[in-house]
Structure 1
Amino acid sequence: MNQLKLFISLVLLCSSFSLLAQNYNNPIIPRSLPDPTIIKAKGGFFYLYATEDIRNTPIYKSKNLVDWEFVGTAFTNETRPTFEPKGGLWAPDISYINGKYVLHYSMSVWGGEWTCGIGAAVADKPEGPFVDKGKLFNSTDIDVQNSIDQFYIEDKGKKYLFWGSFRGIYAIELSKDGLSVKPEAEKKRIAGTAFEGTYIHKREKYYYFFASVGSCCEGVNSTYKLVVGRSKSLFGPYYDKEGKDMMDNGYSIVIGPNSRFVGNGHCSEIVQDKKGNDWIFYHGVDVENPKGRVLLMDQVKWDKEGWPYVEGDSPSLSTPKPVF
């Protein structure tokens, strides 16, 4: 009987270890990697870029979205953009356009809401080296205060840039190479003054407008949250679950705080695993180690009305891994 009990205990213990091995823990990378963006490149690797708490824009790669390797930076001190001489490189957005990897970036100093702007750099490989192509525009050029947090999207054969941070969200058409504003294109306001960090995801008949509200950068006092609205048109109007227009600062919360992670927001693109599950990266503040904004990941699920949600409406601690 004692041998049987021992055998059962060993089986249960092995099962527990097996279950743990199939899970991942947040944070995915326990160092400051704010405002992540991600792309799947040829060869099957995912590449992730983030705001430069690691100088010159850090790049990581992974086969499974869980185990990440640092591969370098998009720029060097000699090749980094210079149109805002003392500015930091914020909120990169990676895309594959006409056979090139195009990295749109924001460049700003804290509080420099009329001198900040958006630029682009290109590379033949996702790990770079990236060659800066210069400024698309700054706040003064485009007459939009706080012109940062850009997002590139293609729709119906055209290329667009969305951008803005707590001064309205705007969109404008780009040139065919995505490196400049299309001549004579006019900007269009899309959402109100509550938002920054736009990401738009097309799923079935809707465009889902993800953004962040609240304060990003006050450590454990940060109030950042990831929110969403949706529309049947790329340019809106976007409405929340209750029917409030995002132009009037309506939104529905996707990821809020919990006892471990606060200030959670500014999401990456949604990517799918081999099982068709959707995953999203974002940053948050770990209250157990509140230095910087760490990289978090969660599965995005969809309710019967087609709205996105994350289990518990806040970051997970231990969750089954993506399937690859």
Structure 2
Amino acid sequence: MRFSRLFVSLVSLAASALAYPNPISGSSTLSVRDPSIWYNPSLQEYFVFATNGNIGIFTSSALTGPWTYRGAVLPNCSNIQLAGNCVLWAPDINYINGLYTLYYSVSTLSSQSSAIGVATSPSMLPGTWTDLGQVIRSNPGDLFNAIDANLIVDSDGGMKLAFGSWWNGMYQIGLWPGVNNEASALPGTHLAGANGRSAEGVFVYKPSSQPYYYCFFSDGLSPGAGATSYPAAGAEYKVRVGRGAVGQGPFYDSAGHPLTDDISPPTGTIVLESHDNIYAPGGQSVFRDPVSGRDVMVYHYIPKSNPVGSQSYLGINYLDFSSGWPVVVT
């Protein structure tokens, strides 16, 4: 027991002393929140999608930029009849059955009157998106909030949609037969978070090099543009992760705790946190870059050197899974 406690303490000290690399060059001038990234091999361009502007579209021929604003996914707003349907949040991009498929959130701050919608496109370019409308919805009193969607195609070929922010955590349901068809009852499988924990932005990812599925999420508080103060030191956004044998969990952190446990310190192994000039990194998504053949994480952060209330910017780093846990590298 004493040895076990000592080992855990040494691991914790090593983790706290970990030096995180800065984002790769080329994106420090691109202001975004909740970025999601994909690559179009026909156009030989990377596409980044971001919150606000009815899901802004930015493209580049390289991960190192320069990035060009191309327009909006849904310039005429979502057809979901909820407050916030012209201020869309948290895009999640994938490629399903020959179409680029983007999930988005419709809500207002601190509201549970929320919905997740989906749009499809043959190319990801502006003007090519078809809004398929609502997939799921939440209402005041539900265990979950229907925002921050993430789609994964599991090893059995089934589509799974994860979602959730604060409230009683993050969940996952099945979709079938289409990308907009709920196939299992809400709220579904509990993935992470509980009891009003400030955790959101779930993203389930399986690297080709590992047998595990990894459940990333953003933990803490994320000061937005216009904020007048920052949270207490250590309470700001950071990226955490757990891993499991299958895409619907259960997921465990490196200490062996299920991500759904309500304990202190909170569950989830830290992947990235504030360091150097990078403050409150989060809103992450991960994809396999077909050009470099590497796993890539994109996220937003606030430059520490900027005044309180400043905008957030795009961060891009590679991930190394060789230890069995994701490590941020350049």
* TM-score, normalised by the number of residues in structure 1: 0.80
Cα distance change, pair 166–176 in 1 and its aligned pair in 2 (3 A): same
1:202 counterpart letter in structure 2: K
Structure with the largest fraction of helix: 1
Residue pairs, 1:213-252, within 5 angstroms:
213-217=219-223, 221=230, 223-248=236-261, 249-252=266-269
Unaligned runs of 5+ in 2: 1-21
Partner residue, 2:215: 209
| Deviation digits for residues 89-143 of structure 1 (CA, Å, limit 9, x no counterpart) | 1101112222222211011111212x11111112222113222211112113993
SS for the counterpart of 1:30 is coil
1:40 alignment partner in structure 2: 39
Kept in 2: contact 1:120–1:132 (CA 8 A): yes
Q: Which has the larger radius of gyration?
A: 1
- Residue number in structure 1 paired with 2:166: 166
The SS at the match of 2:251 is coil
* Structure 2 counterpart of 1:102: 101
Residue of structure 2 in register with 1:322 after alignment: none
3-state SS, counterpart of residue 286 of structure 2 = coil
State the distance in 1 between where 2:141 and 2:189 align: 11
The 5-angstrom pairing of residues 85-96 of structure 1 reads 85-87=83-85, 88-96=87-95
For each residue in 1:302-324, what CA deviation from the matched residue of structure 2 results, as whole angstroms up to 9, or x when unmatched? Answer: 353x111125xxxxxxx5xxxxx
CA RMSD of aligned residues (A): 2.4
Aligned length: 285
Whether the aligned pair in 2 keeps the contact of 1:260 and 1:286 (CA below 8 Å) is yes
d(CA) in 2 for partners of 1:226 and 1:180? 30
Equivalent in the alignment of 2:62: 64
Segments of 5+ residues of structure 1 without an aligned counterpart are 1-22, 312-318, 320-324
TM-score, reference length from structure 2? 0.79
Secondary structure of the residue aligned to 1:33 is: coil
**1: distance between equivalents of 2:289 and 2:95?**
17
Distance 1:151 1:279 in 2: 16
2:213 and 2:267 mapped to 1: Cα distance? 16
The structure-2 alpha-carbon separation of the partners of 1:153 and 1:263, relative to structure 1 and needing over 3 Å to count, comes to: same
- Aligned amino acid, residue 310 of structure 1: V
Shift of the 142–179 alpha-carbon distance from structure 1 to 2, 3 Å rule, reads farther
Residues 1-324 of structure 1: matches in 2 within 5 Å?
Answer: 28-43=27-42, 44-52=44-52, 55-67=53-65, 68-76=67-75, 78-87=76-85, 88-113=87-112, 115-129=113-127, 130-140=129-139, 143-155=142-154, 156-167=156-167, 168-182=169-183, 187-193=188-194, 194=197, 195-203=199-207, 204-217=210-223, 221=230, 223-248=236-261, 249-272=266-289, 274-290=291-307, 291-304=310-323, 306-311=324-329
Residue 29 of structure 1 and its aligned partner are, at CA, apart by 4.2
Aligned equivalent of 1:12: none
CA distance in 2: counterparts of 1:174 and 1:124, whole angstroms: 21
Letter in structure 2 aligned against 1:224 = Y
CA 1:209–1:45 in 2, change beyond 3 Å: closer, same or farther?
Answer: same
Q: CA deviation at 1:41?
A: 1.6
CA distance in 1, matches of 2:239, 2:185: 34
C-alpha separation in 2, matches of 1:227 and 1:93: 18
Work out whether residues 215 and 241 of structure 2, in 8 Å CA contact, stay in contact via their aligned partners in 1.
yes
